[in-house]
Structure 1
Amino acid sequence: MKRPWLTEPISDEEDAEITAAALSDPDNPPLTDEDWARMRPAREVMPPSFFEPVALPPRRFFMAEIDLDVAEHFKNEAGEGWEARMNDVLREVIARRKEAAE
């Protein structure tokens, strides 16, 4: 079975054209042997915090019935990513209720 998401291999001519275009780019010259020799592992040059895992809050997909006008409001207000915006608004409501209860 053919996997439609895989690209076909490029020809030698296409590969040569791509390589020539990359080599002619003055903003991105190819690395020299000296450049490669100067390179060090990222762990030697980056702070340890760079390698700490990012802890995201756990998420769970679930279905919820939301009135159409509410969903349309968020879609129109936030556009793409409206579900995340709705999540943010709900989180704000939770925080306000916790503050009010204290």
Structure 2
Amino acid sequence: MSRDPTPTGLRRLPEPALDDPDSPELTEADFAAMRPAEAVLPPGVMAQFPNSRGRPRTATPKAHVSLRLAPDVLAHYRSLGKGWQTRIEAVLRAEMETGKRT
């Protein structure tokens, strides 16, 4: 069995054809003829697309803070995986709700 000379063992694929007759390149005239979606789609269709991007705003947004933690504490919570910051917040909230001052 001969060894493949490529480092990953994958064979090189042929280059794709960049000239696709089903999808011609847009011209300046095409761009000039374009109109906004609101001008060509019915209101019922446009209602399916919200005007905002990203995550919806919450009524009670969290504050961005900088907190210095001991390296071993930080390593412990990070080792627990995704959601480690939420777990730290839960510990702080539980301490807050006990009403004790330390």
**What TM-score do the two structures reach when normalised by structure 1?**
0.38
**Which structure shows the bigger proportion of residues in helix conformation?**
1
**What TM-score do the two structures reach when normalised by structure 2?**
0.38
